[in-house]
A = this chain, B = another copy of it.
Amino acid sequence: MITVVKIGGNVVDNPEALSRFVDDFAAMEGPKILVHGGGKEATRLSARLDIPTTMIEGRRVTTRETLDVVTMVYAGLINKRIVSALQSRGCNAIGLSGADGNIIPATRRPATPIDYGFVGDIDAAKINTDFLATLLNSGIVPVFCAIMHDGAGSLLNCNADSVASAVAVAASRIAPARLIFCFEKDGVLTDVDNPDSLIESVTRESYSILKNDGVVNKGMIPKIDNAFAAISQGVSSVTIKHSDNLLNDRGTTITE
């Protein structure tokens, strides 16, 4: 079983939470892959450089200048920090953007109806599973940021949840694969401020009810959508949980 873990930006932004997560991830048995989000570092750096940050529907509009910032922060600072932290725990991590080894090609999103700039979408079918398998078979742990490339010389900013989902689908062509979304909450909650309101299992049927009732919030919808997309494309299981609970069972399991 290959485990693909995604950690969200709020974990990346919190040194103590990140350190605890890195301990647990390094200790996890079996072949594994990490996908990390960006956190607020890119927004802070943009502000210090007087580069405006524009978000539309939760997604960063990526101008040429913003692309440079997110490439620096995600592919440079955060990726290498996580890799060196994992190495210090004896986990042989390798940091990768999609351009590295052409492992994840992306397609720039059309400029209509909304021009997000250098933003890309990826297709799990195009992920270079041969190279991914070579790394995993060598006991190496890929650590992906969400910076991909179009194969024509341009880097592209992608959504880390979507990257995690696509990587898990690609991994499932190598061996059975499971996907774990780790973030700063215990899972899908009926009351976002109350960890006791955890929903332990979400099915397609219960999901449509939860959405209709407005119980799942906006930030959770893309995660659950990505979870169902992964399951329908061959991923064995998807769970959404707190980054402190990587090695235990607490969390929300998404099933058909």
Contact = CB atoms under 8 A, between A and B. Distances in A.
Contact of A147 (B68, B72, B80): B80
Contact of A84 (B72, B77, B87, B155): B155
A87 B73 CA distance: 21
Interface centre among A73, A80, A101 (most CB of B within 10 A): A80
Contact of A73 (B72, B93, B99, B140): B72
Interface string A87-119: 110001111110111100000000000000000
A49 B51 CA distance: 12
Contact of A94 (B81, B84, B100, B155): B100
User: At the interface, is chain A mostly helix, strand, loop or mixed?
Assistant: helix
- How many copies of this kind of chain does the complex include? 2
A87 B75 contact: no
A222 interface: no
Interface residues of A, number: 40
Contacts of A79: 75-76
Given A84-B149, A84-B155, A147-B80, A101 B97 contact: no
B94 A95 contact: no
A77 B68 CA distance: 6
Contacts of A102: 87, 92
A20 to B, nearest CB: 14
Contact of A99 (B83, B96, B134, B153): B83
A79 B79 CA distance: 13
Contacts of A80: 71, 75-76, 97, 99-100, 147, 155
A154 interface: yes
Contacts of A87: 99, 102, 149, 151, 153
Interface of A: 45, 48-49, 68, 71-77, 79-81, 83-85, 87-88, 92-97, 99-102, 131, 134, 138, 140, 147, 149, 151-155
